[in-house]
Structure 1
C-alpha cells in the first residue's frame, strides 16, 4: 500500500499530462502511486503514459464520462492513506506532497490540507492566487461558501475523510470542485499550509475556459444551503447575499451575450435573494432593453437533487 495516491483524470492532453506525471515522480516523497484515469482519450495518451515506464504509475482507460466520474473511478482504485486529485495540466513543486502530508500527520484533527497556487498564463507570465485572502484553518464551511478558495490541485486529504463523499457525477463540466469541497467542509477541518504552492497552467484547452459562466454555480449553492445541511451552518444573511451575487454574475454574462430571457430570469432571482442591491434593478432594465434575443428557447435548469456517485466502499 502506498502512502499517497495521486489521481489524475485526463482527456486528450497527452503532452501536458506527461509533464504533470513527471512533476509527481520528482516528488521528495517517494512512497506514492499515480492513478491515471484516461476518460476516453482518442490521442496518444495510453502510449505516452506507458513510455514513462515507472511502476508507480497505474493507467486505467474508461469510456468518457466527465471529470467527476473519472475522479471517482480513480478513487475506487486508490490504496493510499492520503489522497490527492491533480488536474492533467497542473504541476506539483518537488516538496508539495511531503509538506502537505506532514501537515496532516502532525495535526491529526484535520482531514484536508490546502495551499495556494502559482498560475502560469498562456504567455508564460506568472501570477499568484492567494486562497481568497483567507489562509485559515479549522471548520471553513462559511468561508468556502462565500469564496470557494480551495483548489483541487493544491490540496491533499485523508482517505478516511472520503468514506462517504464522492464527486457529484451530475456536475460533468462545471463547479464539481466547489460542490465537493463544500460537502467535505461540513465533515472535516481544513488546515492551511503556507510554505508550498500548487502550479496551475492556464491554456486555451482548459475546461474552465471553455465552460464559461453557467447557472450550475447557482444550483450548487442552492442545493448545499437548502438540502445538504448548509442552512445549519451558514447564516441566512450571508447565504442570500452570496446567492444573489452568484445570480448576478451569471445574469451579467447572459446580458453580455444578449440572452434576454435568461438574463431577465436570473436577475429576478438575484433580486429575490437581495432586494436591497440597487445595481440589480438597473441591470435588469438593461436586460429588458435587449432587442435581438440570441436564445429565445433558453430554460433555467432544474434544481439539483442529491449528489450522484457510485455506491462503493473505500
Structure 2
C-alpha cells in the first residue's frame, strides 16, 4: 500500500535504528526501498543485518540525495510513497496517521504531518507552525506559502507522503541543486496539488546543535537555482503568498551571508528579499546587522 523510500549515504551508525522505527509501525502494509547512494562506510552491511521480507536494497553510484529519492520512486511498487532520511525516525503511528489522511481527504495528492526536533543531547523541541487555515487536528493546507514564510517548514523530507504520479508529473526531485532541492519540490507540489495536513508530531528530525552565532557549514549556491525556479513558479501560478515566500528564501540566504561576514552578498540577498516583500522587517534588521562591527554584531545575536 505504501512504499517507504530511504536514501542512504554513509549512515552506518544510524540506519539500523531508522529501519527499526519503520518496522515498528502500527500500519504494516508497506515496503521499504533503501537506495544506497554509493556509501563508502558500512552502511549497507548494517542495513542488511535487519531482516524483513518487506525490505529491498537498491544500489547506485553516488549521485546525490535527489537522484537517490528519484530512483526510489522509480522502484516503488505502490501508489503512495513516503520518504525517510537514513538518520531520522518515525513514531509507531506515523504511517497510520498518513494513511488516514489519504482516506479522509481523497481530493489531495500530498499528505503531511507535523514533526519534532530531537537534539544530540536527547532534548526534544516542537516545531513552530503558524497560520494554519483550519481548526482541529486535521485539514487542508491551502496556504502553504503563507505558513512556510512564518514558521518552521510545514513539510520536511521525513513528514510527507505523496501520490507517486504527482511526483512523476512534476519531474521528481531536481538533481542539479545541492541545497534546497526538497524545498523546491514541496513548493512545486503545493502549486499543483492539494495538501492534507495533520498537526500531530509523529516524525522525529534529528539535528545537531544550532545557534545564530555558529558559522554556517557551507555557502549558499552562488547560482541560486532554487530562487530562480521559485520565480518561474510565480510566473506560472498565482498561489497566495508565493512572492512573500520568495522573499523568505532570499532572507534565509542573507542570514547565512551575514553570519559569515560577507557584507556584499548579504546586502544583495536582502535587497532581493525586499523586492518581493517590501514589508519584510527582519530583512531590514539583517541589513543593519551586517554593517556593524563583528564584536557588536556578536553581542546582539547572543542576546
TM over 0.5: yes
1:143 aligned residue: 146
Residues 276 and 178 of structure 1, relative CA distance in 2, 3 Å threshold = closer
Counterpart residue number, 2:30:
32
Determine the C-alpha separation between the residues in 1 that align with 2:288 and 2:149. 27
Match of 2:192 in 1: 187
The answer for the alignment partner of 1:306 in structure 2 is none
CA positional deviation for 1:35: 0.6
CA–CA separation in structure 2 for the residues paired with 1:61 and 1:184: 27
After TM superposition, give the deviation of residue 31 of structure 1 in Å: 1.6
Q: Trace 1:50-199 onto structure 2 (pairs within 5 A).
A: 50-132=48-130, 134=132, 136-143=139-146, 146-147=149-150, 148-165=153-170, 166-172=172-178, 174-195=179-200, 197-199=202-204
Tell me the CA shift for residue 138 of structure 1. 4.3
1:256 offset after TM fit, Å? Answer: 2.9
- Mark the CA change 1:9 to 1:279 in structure 2 (over 3 Å): closer, same or farther: closer
Q: Residue 248 of structure 1: CA displacement?
A: 3.6
Unpaired segments ≥5 residues, structure 2: 210-214, 295-303
For residues 105 and 282 of structure 2, what CA distance do their matches in structure 1 show? 45
Considering only aligned residues, what root-mean-square deviation do their CA atoms show, in Å? 3.0
1:240 shift after superposition: 4.6
**Alignment-derived partner of residue 43 in structure 1:** 41
How big is the shift at 1:252? 3.7
| Separation (CA, whole Å) in 2 of partners of 1:15 and 1:278 | 42
Deviations 1:207-260 (A, max 9, x none): xx9755625796424422x3235663235xx55544444334422432332223
Using the alignment, how far apart are the partners of 2:33 and 2:86 within structure 1? 11
Matched residue, 1:7? 5
- Aligned counterparts of 1:182 and 1:88: Cα–Cα separation in 2: 23
* Further displaced range: 108-117 or 215-224: 215-224
How many residues get paired? 281
Contact 2:145 / 2:245 at 8 angstroms: preserved in 1?
A: no
1:291-306 pair list within 5 angstroms? none
Task: Structure 1 unaligned segments of length 5 or more: list them.
Answer: 292-314
Instruction: Say whether the 8 Å CA contact 1:140–1:190 is kept in structure 2.
Output: no
Give secondary structure in 2 for the equivalent of 1:228: helix
After superposition, the Cα gap between the structure-2 partners of 1:60 and 1:216, relative to the gap in structure 1 and judged at 3 Å, is farther
